[in-house]
Amino acid sequence: MTAPTLTVGPDGLIAAGPVAALLADVPRLVILAATAAERRRAAAIGKRALREWDAYLRGDLRCWSVPVAPQGTAFQQAVWAAIARIPYAQVMTYGALAAAIGRPRACRAVAAACGRNPIPIRIPCHRVVAADGPGGYTGGLACKFRLWDIEGISRPR
């Protein structure tokens, strides 16, 4: 299994993964910053991210404070921002998410943006479901269901 990492820049968390490894082991920090001041800022964000990651996996964190700075298209950014607003322990369908960003016919594009989420768990795409079931997940359904268990989300029968 690939070692889990949290990639952090001076403006926030940039990437995290792979999901299965993040659920199994303590991630290492990868700092991306040009100047000494940026490295210090990124390191402070990274340390806070590690504390919050651990608290989330224990079931003790419901609201993240670590800033995010994912790289993506304007559409992906809109989808990821909408996903980040889904409350803890609740789910939203791809269709409802598409409507929430003003693109009600873009369900498949929303699903694709979910799949490109560079910060799974922190941007909680595990809370996005298909109209007829759990949908997919970057880390696989076993990981999605483990995250649901942490949050107390009921699994489909």
Contacts of 89 (CB under 8 A, 6+ apart): 62, 151, 152, 153
User: Do residues 114 and 79 make contact, with C-beta atoms less than 8 angstroms apart?
Assistant: yes
Is 125 catalytic? The answer is yes
Which is the catalytic residue, given 63, 107, 114, 125? Answer: 125
Helices 74-84 and 107-115, axial angle in degrees (round to 10): 80
Cα 102 from chain centre: 21
* Residues that are catalytic: 125
